[in-house]
Amino acid sequence: MNHRQIETFAAVMKSGTVSRAAELLGITQPAVSRTIAELERSVGFLLFDRVRNRIIPTPEARLLYREVEASFRGMDTLRATAARIRDHGSGQIRVGSLSALGSTLVPKAVRRFKEKHPEIGVTLMVLPSRDVRDGVASGEFDIGLAADEIDVSGVLHQPFVTPRMLCILPPDHPLTHKDIIRPQDLHGLPFVAYVPEDRTRHRLDLIFAEASVAPRIMVETIYAATVCALVAEGVGVGLASPYAIAGADPSRLVVRPFEPAVHGKSLLILPLDRPKSQLVRDFIDCLLASR
């Protein structure tokens, strides 16, 4: 039994005659009859009774054809699946993001992506940057957004955004009357800081040291959203990117420029040894358009 025999058998069953089957297949009637005879020898039973120049499928042929149809439906499903993979990729996309972008920029990108691919599932995990990096390196995430202090060995990486950090204050803070906040303004004041390993913290510490000022650090945290929440509760003053501030309650924060400029930096990271699917390319385009 081979594919040519099964295809010829299916054509005869569908068309009801050898002549029509020959037309469907683009071969001669004798070739159809010969192939059916070969299939009958292969399976060990008759497929058609010949009655007055007509062929009538045997019960065995009808049982066999039922399985052939199921097989063909399976092939159609495989072809459709292959076409979806060709056009859209795996059918889902997994994204890991640091907090500063995970509540504002990335949701905008997800909206853009879903407008283009409503049938594609998206998983978004907001995690510390080191966990995002590990997830990308292990293949858990297709795309990652992480702060620039991560270990970039084992991942592809490129700069993504470098926003200028802004000073955020509780609404009743004495510094809200100032148009610009400078390092000297923060000397001795309660301050919400990022953890020491954070690169933005490094840059800010250098600025404070050069200005010979020392804010009074009340809390250290890895999450920009937590900085915003703590400032809103009056715990202290902090710095955050415009992306993080956009996800906070604007009625509970006063935002002022900070000078000299301090820039946060985030990276777009991808698995090292995996070609980018079309879905991944499309999601990256949505991220870039959402900046």
Encoded tokens for 57: 């499928």
The C-alpha atoms of residue 43 and residue 240 are separated, in whole angstroms, by 75
* The pLDDT of residue 70: 85
Q: Examine the pLDDT at 86 and tell me if it is beyond 70.
A: no
- pLDDT tens, position by position, 151-184: 999 999 999 999 999 999 999 999 999 999 999 9
The C-alpha atoms of residue 136 and residue 143 are separated, in whole angstroms, by 7
Q: How many residues does the chain have?
A: 291
Closest CA to 217 of 273, 128, 208, 225: 208
DSSP tag of 145: E
Higher-pLDDT residue of 57, 71? 57
SS3 149: coil
pTM (two decimals): 0.68
* The pLDDT of residue 252: 96
* The pLDDT of residue 277: 86
Residue 128 vs residues 11, 101, 146, 149: alpha-carbon distances, Å: 60, 11, 8, 11
The C-alpha atoms of residue 265 and residue 129 are separated, in whole angstroms, by 12
* CATH superfamily of the 92-162+266-289 domain: Periplasmic binding protein-like II (3.40.190.10)
The C-alpha atoms of residue 103 and residue 128 are separated, in whole angstroms, by 13
- pLDDT tens, position by position, 219-278: 999 999 999 999 999 999 999 999 999 989 999 999 999 999 999 999 999 999 888 888
Encoded tokens for 152: 């970039």
What does the domain layout of the chain look like in residue ranges? 3-88, 92-162+266-289, 166-257
Q: Examine the pLDDT at 73 and tell me if it is beyond 70.
A: yes
- Summarize the confidence of residues 202-206 as an average pLDDT: 96
- Summarize the confidence of residues 68-90 as an average pLDDT: 70
* Class of CATH domain 166-257: alpha beta
* The pLDDT of residue 159: 97
- pLDDT tens, position by position, 183-193: 999 999 999 99
| Common-topology check for domains 92-162+266-289 and 166-257 | yes
SS3 236: coil
* Class of CATH domain 3-88: mainly alpha
Q: 159 and 285 in contact (C-beta within 8 Å)?
A: no
Residue 69's pLDDT band (cuts 50, 70, 90)? confident
Q: Examine the pLDDT at 89 and tell me if it is beyond 60.
A: no
- Summarize the confidence of residues 37-61 as an average pLDDT: 90
Residue 75's pLDDT band (cuts 50, 70, 90)? confident
Higher-pLDDT residue of 204, 76? 204
* The pLDDT of residue 72: 81
- pLDDT tens, position by position, 108-154: 999 999 999 998 999 999 999 999 999 999 999 999 999 999 999 99
